[in-house]
Structure 1
Amino acid sequence: MKVLILDNGHGKNTPGKCSPDKRILEYEWARDMVRRIAEKACLAGIHTEIVVPEESDIPLRERVRRVNALCAKYGTQNCALISVHINAAGNEGKWLNARGWTGWVAPKSSQKSKTLARLLYIEASRAGLQGNRLPSSSCYWVGNFAIVRDTKCPAVLTENLFQDNKDDVEYLVSESGKEAIATLHIDAIKKYFENN
């Protein structure tokens, strides 16, 4: 059995994780997105586990522990993790110009993590979500994030556009935007599980 593990990032008590106009609260958006991806995974016959069902902040160490417990339960070789986030170019509560989608792996990530990240990048590109970010020749970015660094299965952290870019926010709050972002995640994970 293949298992998609979904991490919905920050909780409601993480400060500053919102758009300048407060139309987007990252914790709400990420939980909605994870639910949408999980529903699509269910329809595709992919078993899904959500790491953080709570709305409150769960420390990274605990989120990593939960992921690794699922890897032990189902077998690391059967699992893949996606941690779902929205990016921000600054933390001063102002509208800024950076926009677009990125997928991140750990500095010493496995080849399978890189493969999943590339598949996500391809689907994001097909959806037209590259924005004004410098394209990645490897089709992923490298960051020392604990959720992808310390978990045992292939893992990618997705930054789904920018919560401090007005155009990105319009897309993120739209039903068509939410559907496109959920679809790119599930299309990539289906392709990944077909070959891994």
Structure 2
Amino acid sequence: MKKLIILLDPGHGAETPGKRSPDGTLREYEFNRGVSRLLQKKLLSCGIDARLTVQDDTDMPLVQRTNQARDSKRQGYDVVLVSIHANAAGNGWSTANGIETYTNDQAEKLAQIIQRRLVADTGLRDRGVKRADLHITRESARYGIPGVLVELGFMTNKDECALLKTPAYREKCATAIAKAICEHYAVPFKVTADNPQPVAKPVDKVSIEINGTRLAASGYLRDGVSWLPVRAVAEAVGGKVEWCAATKQVKVNGHDLSVTIESGVSYAPARELAAVLGLQVTWHQAAKTVELSSGRA
């Protein structure tokens, strides 16, 4: 029996044009990578070899993603390509909603299980399993590889956009897909509580500059994403911060943010926070510094 590899493809990159919510508070790549990394950990814990097509925030060309699947098959593996996405409709907010899964002939049964699990676990509208001329499903089929592309909710729908930002929803999506893959390949699914805990990755401290001035507070870098202290950054540029203790939700200038709480301080992804504050963001790797600017001289 050939070894099975699940190749997880977190669609798009940090600078892919248009792949963000209408208000700019959510970039699709952040959601895609968050779900993909969670899914990889769950599959590895179940004994399934799960690999990411791309490790950083760049937008790898589609042909390179499907070529990875092709090359793994040529090496003698059974390969399945699963691409993770958030959906969009139109140029502004819309009422389009729900989850849909695209597939090719080789992955029809797996796609049906994934769609069923996702709808059951998230409670979102079932938009069905579909076929379309998508590179991921079309080109993987050329090599006889099962290809699935899942759309896990609309970032152009205000309610679903708010969901997509939350760690809890990303966890639900990753768990549902992991369960579906385990079901399809008859592998026991191990719930998170029973999974071996991975060794914590080092968290790098990052400095923050706003319009050339160093901020006293600092942020941190985890899994390639810079997280900044919400109140310190927002108040430095006159932003309004609201905190709802009941929902543990932070609003900046009236926009909900996806946050993590560390020692009582709320942190948000740098690009998401910059978007609601009307700031441009630049990352300097050598200096481990996030530079925020208003764009004004």
Q: TM-score surpassing 0.5?
A: yes
Q: Deviations over 1:47-93 (max 9, x none)?
A: 11111123111111111111211222242xx2211100000011x2x
Paired residue secondary structure (1:5): strand
Q: 1:142 to 1:130 in 2, by over 3 A?
A: farther
- Amino acid in structure 2 at the alignment position of 1:33: V
2:88 aligns with: 88
Structure (1/2) with the larger strand percentage? 2
Matches within 5 A, 1:61-100: 61-75=63-77, 78-90=78-90, 92=91, 94-100=92-98
TM-score normalised to the size of structure 2? 0.58
Matches within 5 A, 1:55-66: 55-66=57-68
1:13 is displaced (CA, Å) by 2.1
Matches within 5 A, 1:174-193: 174-193=166-185
1:159 aligns with: 151
Structure (1/2) with the larger helix percentage? 1
Give the Cα–Cα distance (whole angstroms) in 2 for the partners of residues 157 and 186 of structure 1. Answer: 14
Give the Cα–Cα distance (whole angstroms) in 1 for the partners of residues 122 and 65 of structure 2. Answer: 31
1:150 pairs with 2:139:
yes
Paired residue secondary structure (2:72): helix
Give the Cα–Cα distance (whole angstroms) in 1 for the partners of residues 41 and 76 of structure 2. Answer: 20
The Cα RMSD (Å) is 1.5
Deviates more, 1:168-177 or 1:178-187: 168-177
Q: Provide the identity percentage.
A: 29
Q: Would the aligned equivalents of 1:12 and 1:56 in 2 still touch at CA under 8 Å?
A: yes
Q: Moved runs in structure 1, 4+ residues, more than 4 A?
A: none
Give the Cα–Cα distance (whole angstroms) in 2 for the partners of residues 179 and 8 of structure 1. Answer: 15
* Higher relative contact order (Cα pairs below 8 Å, separated by 6+ residues): 1
Q: Would the aligned equivalents of 1:2 and 1:193 in 2 still touch at CA under 8 Å?
A: no
- Amino acid in structure 1 at the alignment position of 2:30: E
Give the Cα–Cα distance (whole angstroms) in 2 for the partners of residues 129 and 160 of structure 1. Answer: 11
1:39 pairs with 2:28:
no
Q: Deviations over 1:128-178 (max 9, x none)?
A: 4442x6x43xxx111111111111311100001001001101111122211
Give the Cα–Cα distance (whole angstroms) in 1 for the partners of residues 166 and 30 of structure 2. Answer: 14
Gaps of 5+ in 2: 188-297
